[in-house]
RNA sequence: GGCCCCAUAGUUCAAUGGAUAGAAUAGGAGUUUCCUAAACUCUAGAUCCAGGUUCGAUUCCUGGUGGGGCUACCA
């Protein structure tokens, strides 16, 4: 379990106290600290209820005895008070002042290198449609987790899977061939992924028309939906693709090229990148051999000519891995791709799949299979499962046209940032380019923070109005605080940090306590693959800072020692905020 | 049908089994001759229901209600 410096100082002292006072040995893991509630005096609280059996005394007596021991033996503990079973410890100012000094000198959000290498997969788009809001949660989440793991000392490999083959892209290709009249992104001015998406919709329209036509002619609807000529033509195209037909391949390459170019533009604007792209067209053949070997080893079994895995002992079902005609299913290629990745990147300790929770079952099965196949790395597989994004109007459904397009959404948040920014008219000194850059930064911060402040596991509601909010618990609020500090530091001119030897005032202490919590939040975020931990603690920190800023003079403080201390604290907060936001994939401006 | 996830102020989100359940937003009241008011202060407002475990349950267990997802020799 991770402990901050204070806790790792106090824990052994408490263990010792139990030994000395009660002749009892307690498991250090069981000693839990919590921040003292603001209505009581103290900084850190130890709850002694769990140890009453060990101490053989009442809660007050136990806490009192422990408190006395700590006060005597731990220099950081200045005094304490006991309320019921709660031992509230007052930590000496010297500790906090020393922490402020350290935070000014080093990056408190950089953990020592662990030597372990982690692969994070965080996008797996199909190439027949542009990216939407759901992809954005996926992308921002995965990117942030990559950065958090990096800050936590791991080496990270960021990858995406591009589903570039299959019936979906053939549908777009066929519709373009029939109705496109040679339209290209250049000729139409339409972004490549949007153009291909347009023909996917065209296909769907044509298919519906054909089905209606067939039904009107007396055909059964279900049958018509399976046998509409345009659908058969698309299936035929897929077969030609698999057979390597040069004409089909050329068209496929051309249209996928448009899509990649479009995706790249969106990724660039969103500020994310990948170290390696996996294309389904290259990986879909993988896995078959591995399944056959598994069959030989008796891990799988054959039934009606198909290869199955039996996971009933694990509480799951049986699942086909190879059809009776020998062809693969999704699971097959995922098995093969995982194996390939561990071959390509020897020594990977973890492979994290950032994929929506509708695939929970799929990954449970995948991981069990790889374990059954005996791969030692199978324990390092992890599904970072995130919840769906709902709209106020309900679920996003591409069929009903209720999806929120990623590019449009980014445009909107940036526009909103512009509207507010122009209104506040604080930016007169900015050039047009500088303004553009700033509004882009603010808009994206609003969007990213909105999506990242929520526990990834949970389904969330995307309220467009709230997502472009720039006030309150938002990314722009954090950016604003950062810019504010930079402004103070600029105005302060040059100064030299020096230790403070007068008591801290309440507002300074609150800021320091929140700053002190930030590394723990990073650790939690890394352990749980949950950016919301660091997002929320960063918010707590800037809130405390703003309160201090409001009530205490900083650059204008007349007492020099206090002045440089507050400047130092301000800079330490700004540095930590910048790094914390970096962990979320969010940039911070020097002015706003 | 089977399996999985979720339920907290009007709304959107927090809360390692611990003290009087925190924020934001919307509502009400204030703060600017002073370092950026995208800020700050005050105010009102919530654990789906019923059992159980525990010194102590929003948290764990069982049942119920409501919502969502998965459950093809489709991709």
- Counts for chain A of helices (H) and strands (E), in that order: 22, 15
Beta bridge partners of A381: A351
Mean pLDDT within A158-179? 95
Q: What percent of chain A shows pLDDT beyond 90? A: 88
- What is the C-alpha to C-alpha distance for residues A574 and A590, in angstroms, rounded to an integer? 10
**Average pLDDT in chain A:** 94
Residue A541's closest CA among A565, A574, A567?
A574
What is the CA A217 to C1' B49 distance in angstroms? 54
A531 CA vs B57 C1’ separation (Å):
27
d(CA A265, CA A193): 10
A31: DSSP letter? -
Residues A565 and A556: their CA atoms lie apart, in Å, by 12
Confidence of residue A3 (pLDDT cuts 50, 70, 90): confident
Q: Round to a whole number and report the distance in Å from the CA of A301 to the C1' of B7.
A: 42
User: Has residue A563 got a pLDDT over 80?
Assistant: yes
Q: Are A158 and A183 in contact (CB under 8 A)?
A: no
Nucleotide nearest to A316 (CA to C1'): B3
Distance B69 C1' – A459 CA (angstroms): 10
SS3 A364: helix
DSSP collapsed to 3 states, A71-101: HHHCCCEEEEEEECCEEEEEECHHHHHHHHH
Question: Is pLDDT above 80 for A467?
Answer: yes
Predicted complex ipTM: 0.96
Neighbours of A190 (CB within 10 A): 17
Domains of chain A: 5-91 (3.30.1360.70), 166-273 (no CATH), 406-583 (1.10.730.10)
User: How is residue A175 written in tokens?
Assistant: 């519709």
Any idea which nucleotide's C1' is nearest the CA of A426? B36
What are the two backbone dihedrals, phi and then psi, of residue A147, each rounded to the nearest 5 degrees? -70, -40
> CA of A390 and C1' of B48: distance in angstroms?
21
Å from the A8 CA to the B65 C1': 46
Please give the Cα distance from A47 to A33 (Å, whole number).
7
Rounded to an integer, the average pLDDT of A368-396 is 93
According to the model, what pLDDT value does residue A225 have? 87
Mark the nucleotides of strand B covered by protein, meaning any atom under 7 Å from a CB: 3-7, 11-16, 18-20, 23-25, 34-41, 55-56, 67-75
Summarize the confidence of residues A516-533 as an average pLDDT.
97
Mean predicted confidence (pLDDT) in A41-63: 92
pLDDT tens, residue by residue, A472-481: 999 999 999 9
CA–CA separation, A138 and A451 (whole Å):
9
pLDDT of residue A509: 96
Give CA–CA dist A141/A162, Å, rounded: 18
- By C1' distance from the Cα of A592, the closest nucleotide is B36
Report whether A438 contacts A421 (CB < 8 A): yes
pLDDT in tens, A183-236: 999 999 999 999 999 999 999 999 999 999 999 998 888 888 888 999 999 999
Question: Could you tell me the distance in Å between the CA of residue A361 and the C1' of nucleotide B2?
Answer: 13
Q: Which nucleotide is nearest to A556 (CA to C1')?
A: B35
What digits encode the pLDDT tens for the residues A245-295? 999 999 999 999 999 999 999 999 999 999 999 999 999 999 999 999 999
pLDDT recorded at residue A273: 97
Nucleotide nearest to A567 (CA to C1'): B35
Identify the sign of the CA torsion A579, A405, A281, A295: positive
- How far does the CA of A249 sit from the C1' of B65, in Å? 55
Burial of A259 (0-12, 13-18, 19+ CB in 10 A): buried
pLDDT in tens, A67-107: 999 999 999 999 999 998 999 999 999 999 999 999 999 99
pLDDT class of A53 with cuts at 50, 70, 90: confident
* pLDDT of A579: 98
pLDDT at position A1: 64
| Nearest nt by C1' to A471 Cα | B38
């Amino acid at each position: 379990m991770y402990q901050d410096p204070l806790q790792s100082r106090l824990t052994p002292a408490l263990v010792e106290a139990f030994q000395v006072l009660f002749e009892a040995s307690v498991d250090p893991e069981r000693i839990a600290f919590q921040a003292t509630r603001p209505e009581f005096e103290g900084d850190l609280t130890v709850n002694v209820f769990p140890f009453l059996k060990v101490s053989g005394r009442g809660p007050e007596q136990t806490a009192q005895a422990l408190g006395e021991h700590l006060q005597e033996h731990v220099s950081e503990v200045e005094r304490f008070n006991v309320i019921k079973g709660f031992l509230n410890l007052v930590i000496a100012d010297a500790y906090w002042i020393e922490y402020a000094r350290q935070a000014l000198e080093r990056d408190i959000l950089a953990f020592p290198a662990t030597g372990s290498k982690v692969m994070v997969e965080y996008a797996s788009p199909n190439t027949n449609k542009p990216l939407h809001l759901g992809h954005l949660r996926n992308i921002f989440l995965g990117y942030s987790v990559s950065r958090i793991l990096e800050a936590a000392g791991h080496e990270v490999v960021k990858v995406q899977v591009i589903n570039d083959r299959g019936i979906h892209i053939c549908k777009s290709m066929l519709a373009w061939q029939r109705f496109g009249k040679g339209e290209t992104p250049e000729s139409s001015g339409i972004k490549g992924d949007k153009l291909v998406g347009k023909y996917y919709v065209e296909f769907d329209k044509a298919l519906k028309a054909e089905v209606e036509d067939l039904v009107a002619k007396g055909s059964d609807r279900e049958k018509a939906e399976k046998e509409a000529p345009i659908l058969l033509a698309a299936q035929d195209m897929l077969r030609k693709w698999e057979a390597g037909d040069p004409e089909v391949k050329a068209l496929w390459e051309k249209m996928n090229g448009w899509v990649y170019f479009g995706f790249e533009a969106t990724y660039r604007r969103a500020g994310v990148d990948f170290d390696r792209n996996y294309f389904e067209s290259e990986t879909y053949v993988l896995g078959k051999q591995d399944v056959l070997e598994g069959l030989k080893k008796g891990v799988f079994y054959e039934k009606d000519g198909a290869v199955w895995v039996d996971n009933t002992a694990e509480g799951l079902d049986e699942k086909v891995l190879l059809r009776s005609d020998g062809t693969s299913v999704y699971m097959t290629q995922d098995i093969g791709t995982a194996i390939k990745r561990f071959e390509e990147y020897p020594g990977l300790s973890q492979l994290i799949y950032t994929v929506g929770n509708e695939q929970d079952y799929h990954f449970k099965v995948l991981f069990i299979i790889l374990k059954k196949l005996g791969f030692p790395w199978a324990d390092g597989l992890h599904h970072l499962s995130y919840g769906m994004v709902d709209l106020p109007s309900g679920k996003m459904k591409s069929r009903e046209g209720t999806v929120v397009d990623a590019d449009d959404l980014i445009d909107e948040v940036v526009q909103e940032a512009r509207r507010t920014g122009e209104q506040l008219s604080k930016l007169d000194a900015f050039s047009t380019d500088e303004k553009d850059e700033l509004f882009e930064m603010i808009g994206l911060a609003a969007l990213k923070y909105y999506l990242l402040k929520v526990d990834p596991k949970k389904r969330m509601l995307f309220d467009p109005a709230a997502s472009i909010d720039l006030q309150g618990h938002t990314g722009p609020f954090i950016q604003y605080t950062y810019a504010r500090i930079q402004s103070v530091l600029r105005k302060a001119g040059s100064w030299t940090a020096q230790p403070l030897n007068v008591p801290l005032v309440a507002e300074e202490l609150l800021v320091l306590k929140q700053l002190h919590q930030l590394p723990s939040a990073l650790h939690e975020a890394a352990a749980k693959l949950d950016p919301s931990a660091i997002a929320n603690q960063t918010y707590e920190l800037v809130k405390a800072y703003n309160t201090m800023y409001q009530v205490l003079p900083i650059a204008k403080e007349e007492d020099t020692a206090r002045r440089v201390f507050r400047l130092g604290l301000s800079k330490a907060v700004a540095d930590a905020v910048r790094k914390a936001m970096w962990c979320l994939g969010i940039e911070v401006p020097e002015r706003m």
